Amino acid sequence: MKSGYLSEFFSGVALKTLSAVEADLVRSHQHEFNGVDGLKKLFGQAVGKQKFDAKFIYLTDHDDEPVISEGFLTWYDAREAHPTRSEHRLYFPTTEVSNCAAEGDLLLIGRRQDGSVLVVVAEAESTVANQVRWLFGFSDLVHPGFSVKAETESDQVKLEFASRLILDEIGVAQEEEAPNFLDIMLDRFGKRFPSTRIFSDFARSTIDDLDPRDDPDAVLLAWMDREEVLFRTLERHIVGDRLVEGFAHDVDGFLAFSLSVQNRRKSRVGSAFENHLEEVFLKLGVRYDRTKVTENKSKPDFIFPSIDEYRNPAFPPERLTMLGVKSTCKDRWRQVLVEADRVEEKHLLTMEPSISTAQTDEMRDKKLSLVLPTALHSSYTPAQRGWLMNLTEFIGLVKGRQ
């Protein structure tokens, strides 16, 4: 197990694509996978009926909140008494998650370091299914059995900002901190959260050897990763103190506090992404305006070269560029399409890996170009990569038009 790597959370994982028969088993009362000797890498040789606490999650691109159930798995050898043969089986109970499973869905069984198990079912051909495969390093699942990776292989997967987003999506709590900076943050900010712009400035100041003029794509990722770790460090301290104080019997107060924590996390990531990107543009001498009003009170994240040129009907529309910025897309990418009528082909910058082919095909049809930091391009198919832009290329396009 290595801190900052996938093995910090999983001692082993197994993935497979559900066949029609297996999907029926998952939904039916039989609830067993037979002939699963490959899972011995996760659970070992069965001795009696071994129960494991399990968390079940069903994920789809269309719902913001996953379906979550708590339960257990039972691992046993149906031929334990046989002198030479064994037949291992994995049993799981009926849950809301099992009721959602269908042919073609991705099934993940992950053995956690605390001995519990995470079971994830992701909708067939969805972005989130692609992301789970990418996170755990499974390029394809063409054979019918489980594909299994042990802890030693997870030791090779270093967690970066994009992979942390996926871990959040599948319900894995992360506690990586930067304790060396906690006293500095408390001295500077006290026990409160500063504005996102101030915090982004602080995060960049803690890495003094990065210049976006050298590699805009890599620097943007590094700044985002650093801010995420610093924020979690400060959040853990502030939220922890509030929880120690307690809420007595104030259930509404506790729920409001919990909701504020979740909302702060979501809104902060998007603002941080824009803040760091703005610093890249400033350093590279790119002219822009941020969140200025266009038609119908829309506020695109960035307009190039400026809102004045955009509002000037004499300024050639082919020299205008509009960029939407979303750390993750899901179906929200369509919001960008109506934010600047004078710009026919729009651009969207995201940190989301492995968006499905169906989604990117629709983006192309809607004349939306996808921009991602170079390091994330490898999570897409070869056909998709030919269409993607990186940040360096996008900056070159904008500066050429200016």
Q: DSSP secondary structure string, 125-187?
A: T-HHHHHHHHHHT-----SSS-EEEEHHHHTT-B--HHHHHHHHHTT-------GGGHHHHHH
pLDDT at residue number 18: 86
Among 13-22, 66-75, 170-179, 252-261, the range scoring the smallest mean pLDDT is 252-261
What CATH code would you report for 289-401? 3.40.91.80
Residues whose CB falls within 8 Å of the CB of residue 361, separated by 6 or more in sequence, listed in order: none
Is residue 1 predicted with pLDDT exceeding 70?
A: no
What band does 168 get if pLDDT is binned at 50, 70 and 90? confident
Q: Up-side HSE of residue 109: CA atoms within 13 Å toward CB?
A: 25
Task: Supply the mean pLDDT for the chain.
Answer: 87
> In the predicted model, is pLDDT for residue 84 greater than 70?
no
Domain boundaries, the chain: 5-159, 179-283, 289-401
Rounded to whole angstroms, the Cα distance separating 224 from 204 reads 9
CATH 3.20.20.70 is the classification of domain 179-283: no
- Among residues 58, 76, 288, 310, the one annotated as catalytic is 310
More confident residue, 143 or 168: 168
Identical fold, 179-283 and 289-401: yes
Residues present in the chain in total: 402
pLDDT at position 312 over 70: yes
Strand partners of residue 346: 368
Q: What percent of the chain has pLDDT over 90?
A: 53
Top-level CATH class of 5-159? mainly beta
Main-chain dihedrals φ then ψ at residue 206, nearest 5 degrees: -85, -5
* The predicted structure's pLDDT at residue 268: 85
Concerning whether 310 is annotated as a catalytic residue, the answer is yes
pLDDT of residue 6: 83
Q: Give the pLDDT of residue 179.
A: 72
Pair 95, 58: CB distance under 8 Å: no
pLDDT tens for each residue of 5-63 = 788 888 889 998 888 777 776 665 557 776 677 788 888 888 889 999 999 999 998 88
What value does the mean pLDDT take over residues 250-262?
66
